[in-house]
Structure 1
Amino acid sequence: MSESYEKFEGLIPGDGHPRWGQSYYYNAYDPVRCLGVFIRLGFLENQGEANSWVIVFRNGSPLFTRTNLNLPHTLARPADGVEIAGMRIHAEVPLKRTRITFSSPDCSFDLVWSELHPLADCIAMTQDKDGAFAREVAHIHLEGTSTVTGSITHRGEMAALDGKGFRDIAAGPRNWDALLHYRLAWPVFDNGMAFCGIRGISTAGGSAYMRMMHDGEAWRRVTAIEDRLTFSPDGLAVEHAHWVFTDELGRRHEMTARPLFGWLFPFDTFVLREHMMEYRLADGTIGYGLHETGYRLPWQGMAD
């Protein structure tokens, strides 16, 4: 891991792009307690705005939700600790250990993301630094996995959380309106394998990927992906996912996924559907992680 990546835990000034932004995303799931969280921070420097969300869920149902889309911009970042809408995020050891605390009358938590697989730049691993994602979504997109430990208290009842999750750090333009649709899979498997696959379809009909996988020893480039989704009648929720991918060593991997929880997030003319899913490799190995889909409005469905 390049030490220079540590700077992305801090403020990265914009390059003049009107949609320049930084984002920080964290998720976690404990399959024993069926307990999880989705957390995101977004900073839009030239629009003078910040946004955040916190979703806590258990047994397939939401326990607590807070979404803020038009908060005042701040120069604070996780490197030194950022406080926003009742939440504090502090990269206590940049890239390797982040503590997130949250407090409200109905829900509070204290959770720590500790490095499992190190953060790597998925755009660079894809070898598409000049492609659609690099132009419209981010110049750098660091993704990695963590063990996640701590506790969540909901209306006076405390539950321990001991699970795994993904996190990412991105900096660059964030132009949702350039995307017609995208789909993302981030499973962490019991055998130590992890996968990062993102397919974006532009408004012009072009298709591009960010992709890499960890085989338990190192991050590997993914050379090819096939992805097939089955959607619910509303066209937004995913009922079943099937991904096949080939890594740089020529190994073929296949996995399916079923949803455990879903939630919809708005971004004005774009919406995201978060799913926490149970994944299964062809040999039966189980994993858990995010499956995310995004849709430009008005959404009219996918041909595939």
Structure 2
Amino acid sequence: MSTPDPGPSDPSTTSATVADGGAEDPDRIVTVLEPADEYTHTPDAAENYNESMYLNAFDLGSQTGAWFRLGNRVNEGHAEMTVCIYLPGGRVAFMYDRPKITTNDAMDAGGLTITVVEPFEHLTVRYSGKVCLLDDPSEMADPRSAFRSNPMVGCTVELDHRGVSPMYGGKPQHADGREVESVNGFAKAHYEQHCAVTGTITVDDPDGGTGTVMEIDGLGLRDKSWGPRYWQAVTWYRWLPMMFGDDFAMMLSVVDRGGDRSPATSGMVLVGDEYVKVVDCRVEADYDERGEQTTMRAWARTEDDREYEVTGEVLSMIPLRNRRTTPDGEELTTRITEAMTRYECDGRVGIGMSEFLDQVVDGWPIGVPRP
């Protein structure tokens, strides 16, 4: 299974000039984002090329929400399609599939369609298909058993995402246009945006009743990435997108790539209608007996020297995994715990995700302290 992308790099298009008279430094790294990047790209030759779009949506009043992801792995002949809906009362409706694709022409596979209506302004999410209805979402730690022992029901989604913020991120490249080689195997370009979300999610009742209809009038975040992707390219990460209102939201990212390097931090805070870049952040969490996050404390400092302290409480959790066999026959397992989370910061209450990714080593997620 697979999940959204961790935090972006830098704000969108930046200048490529230096202070000594304005001469252009051709080796300087800038971040570029064009309206055409909202659409699919021509895949490069990498076998693991992945073009991914992810969108979430939450309603704080009802404490419900959802996220959706399509990852086109056209050079491998399939897409990764994920639908995850956090229903009232703690149930989760979930579907994952690898539908076959032969082109990278659209984000449309397995019944899930993501359409760009207006670049940087308006996207739609549509889904029509089945979902696995889980009274106990923790069963998805063993997906084969979970899909076999829980009912499959019909589901329809019609959501509109409209940007309430600037774009954040893009494609790093040299100032003279040369491409920057991806060295981490996770993506060569990535951007995000906070959104207002409206629409309807319907999940049928397994006994033929009226089912659950969720009228969404809330907030969310979307992201996109493209380039080579292995979920095992990082040791662990903590990704916290959160929304307090259309004038205050943030995303915090902490990524550990192993070795002697300290974890990399990034993110942004939406203040009014502008993003302020996060220059440092920390995420600490408490865990249950399965090593899944239950509560968290985060701190962030932005480039204007403002500091934020955030607390989070998990409302609903589903554990997912991704497995890959290397050319040498080594079995690799990645665990991703996807939690709808209630946040508090500066006296305001918000909602969003806490997504914790860990490589599993000796049967335990590597970034989680052993009990």
TM range (shorter): 0.7 to 0.9
How far apart in 1 are the matches of 2:368 and 2:57? 32
Q: Deviation of residue 213 (structure 1)?
A: 1.9
Structure 1 CA distance for aligned equivalents of residues 352 and 87 of structure 2: 14
User: How has the CA–CA distance of structure 1 residues 210 and 22 changed in structure 2, closer, same or farther, with 3 Å as cutoff?
Assistant: farther
2-side partners of 1:151 and 1:228: how far apart? Answer: 34
**Structure 1 counterpart of 2:199, one-letter code:** G
1:285 corresponds to which residue?
Answer: 348
Q: Deviations over 1:175-203 (max 9, x none)?
A: 22221211111111137222121111124
8 Å CA contact 2:219–2:246 kept in 1: the answer is: no
Query: Hey, what does 2:193 align to over in structure 1?
Result: 144
Q: Give matches, 1:1-304, under 5 Å.
A: 4-69=33-98, 71-77=100-106, 82-104=107-129, 106-121=154-169, 135-155=184-204, 156-157=210-211, 158-190=213-245, 192-204=247-259, 206=261, 207-235=263-291, 237-268=292-323, 269-281=333-345, 283-298=346-361, 299-302=364-367
Partner of 1:127: none
Aligned-residue offset at 1:131? 11
* TM-score of the aligned structures, taking structure 2 as reference length: 0.72
**Matched residue SS, 1:51:** strand
Q: Secondary structure at the match of 2:347?
A: coil
- 13-22 or 31-40: which moved more? 13-22
| Mapped contact 1:195–1:214 kept (Cα < 8 A) | yes
Shift of 1:4: 4.4
Following the alignment from structure 1 to structure 2, what is the Cα–Cα distance between the partners of residues 184 and 29?
16
- What is the identity percentage for the equivalent residue pairs of Structure 1 and Structure 2? 23
Distance 1:184 1:132, change over 3 A: farther
1:245 Cα deviation (Å)?
A: 0.8
Distance 1:97 1:83 in 2: 17
In structure 1, runs of 5+ residues without a counterpart are 125-129
Query: Could you say what secondary structure the match of 1:196 adopts?
Result: strand
Normalised by the length of structure 1, the TM-score is: 0.87
* SS in structure 2 at match of 1:106: strand
More strand by share: 1
Could you tell me whether the CA contact under 8 Å between 1:51 and 1:71 is conserved in 2?
Answer: no
SS at 1:111 equivalent: strand
Alignment CA distance shift 1:15-1:101 (3 Å): closer
- Whole-angstrom distance in 2 between the partners of 1:256 and 1:83: 37
Deviation at 1:83, TM superposition (A): 2.5
Task: State the shift of 1:302 in Å.
Answer: 3.1
The one-letter code of the counterpart of 1:5 is E
Cα distance, 1:240 vs structure 2: 1.0
Secondary structure of the structure 2 residue equivalent to 1:222:
strand
Distance change (3 Å), C-alpha of 1:280 and 1:9: same
Distance 1:280 1:16, change over 3 A: same
Determine helix, strand or coil for the equivalent of 2:37: helix
C-alpha distance in 1 between matches for 2:231 and 2:80: 14
Q: Give the drift of 1:60.
A: 4.6
Contact 1:123–1:210 (Cα < 8 Å) also in 2 = no
**Aligned pair in 2 of structure 1 residues 264, 217: CA closer, same or farther (>3 Å)?**
same
Assess if the C-alpha contact under 8 Å between 1:138 and 1:174 holds in 2: yes
CA distance in 2, matches of 1:20, 1:146: 27
| Letter paired with 1:139 | K
1:161 Cα shift?
1.2
SS of 2:69's partner is strand
Aligned-partner SS, 1:46: helix
- Between the two proteins, the alignment pairs up a number of residues equal to 293
Measured at CA, do residues 83 and 226 of structure 1 come closer, stay the same or move farther in structure 2, by a change above 3 Å? closer
CA RMSD of aligned residues (A): 2.5
For 2:89 and 2:268, the matched residues in 1 are separated by: 29
Q: Which has the higher contact order (CA 8 A, sep 6+)?
A: 2
Query: Which protein has the larger Cα radius of gyration, Structure 1 or Structure 2?
Result: 2
Q: Summarize the Cα distance change of 1:164–1:151 in structure 2 as closer, same or farther, 3 Å threshold.
A: same
Residues of 1 paired with 2:296 and 2:97: CA distance? Answer: 30
> Per-residue deviation at 1:250?
0.6
